[in-house]
Structure 1
């Protein structure tokens, strides 16, 4: 039944065929926009994550205080639910730095740990890799793809609505011409 607009029949109006073409064009444009925008966004996010992986590096650090009473760190793919504790490491320029990093709960002062730093030697979180990176790339592509297709589908829906209003106005005008003769038949 949905394809009736494409078939020749005496009840099909020109506006029905126009509506069918508008809907087909909107669908094709929406799918194309979704695919191209989604792939572009996924590529951009993948490139940004790769750049972030290239810019960060692991550095050996030393735990300054015992981690027994430190606040818990949130559980993530890179973390194991450890605790935040103060650590000391050496920046690329040779200066000593301190900050808070995630370490194993119960670690004692002087324990060697590994931290992630940027080129200036500041602490940063570990860059996403593996499944987490793939998830971020896919979600960016899907989100941007849907966002790109949305306006196109909305435009198709608005065009269809406008065609439907026009068709209803034509039916109303035709009914005004036919109604008097029908009324005579019904009452006469």
Structure 2
């Protein structure tokens, strides 16, 4: 078992060996290339996705603004309820145009009650933008997911290539055995 330990066992395809075939060398280079590509593609894709999400969320924090809206009708429910309910609201945009939407309010709120909603540059209702901490966490998680997903592409390609090399090697062994096998019959029988 000592012959199977150490760096030679891990790198056997790279050491001179009369039993090493051309397909072994191709497989070794393929595995090395796939490993490097996996790390490179996964890292670059993850960093790109992280940066893209961070920039998008930072732009939202700059462009989205809180605006004061008023309930158009009494909110459903009673004032004693603890959970907020959806209600129709109306607000004016920066250009003076009127916009309508829905937001969560306390149950039983009277029509005309002032509430805060968030609006983009076009006056459309949006959610509250993510804080810097939330944006960093979200960007990091998305970056990891995109990086891991992108790293699967070279891994799958490498697996296809090594699988093809393996099938080819088995076919070569079958061909050689058909040629050599009959020569052994007279010695074993």
Q: Structure 1 residues 50-59 or 141-150, which shifts more?
A: 141-150
> TM-score, normalised on structure 1?
0.80
Contact 2:76–2:87 (8 Å) recurs in 1: no
Cα 1:99/1:18, change in 2 over 3 Å: closer
Q: Structure 1 residues 27-36 or 107-116, which shifts more?
A: 107-116
- Listed one character per residue, the Cα deviations across residues 46-103 of structure 1 (whole Å, up to 9, x for unaligned) are 1112222222100122223222339xxxxxxxxx962211223222123444332222
CA distance in 2, matches of 1:106, 1:12: 81
Gaps of 5+ in 2: none
Correspondent of 1:23 among 7, 19, 31: 31
Instruction: Output aligned runs, 1:1-188, within 5 Å.
Output: 3=10, 4-9=12-17, 11-69=19-77, 82-130=84-132, 132-187=134-189
What is the count of residue pairs matched by the alignment? 178
> TM-score, normalised on structure 2?
0.79
Q: How far is 1:22 from its partner?
A: 0.9
Gaps of 5+ in 1: 71-79
CA distance in 2, matches of 1:92, 1:113: 17
Q: How far is 1:161 from its partner?
A: 1.3
Q: How far is 1:156 from its partner?
A: 0.7
Q: How far is 1:40 from its partner?
A: 0.7
Q: How far is 1:9 from its partner?
A: 4.7
CA distance in 2, matches of 1:182, 1:37: 56
CA distance in 1, matches of 2:99, 2:185: 94
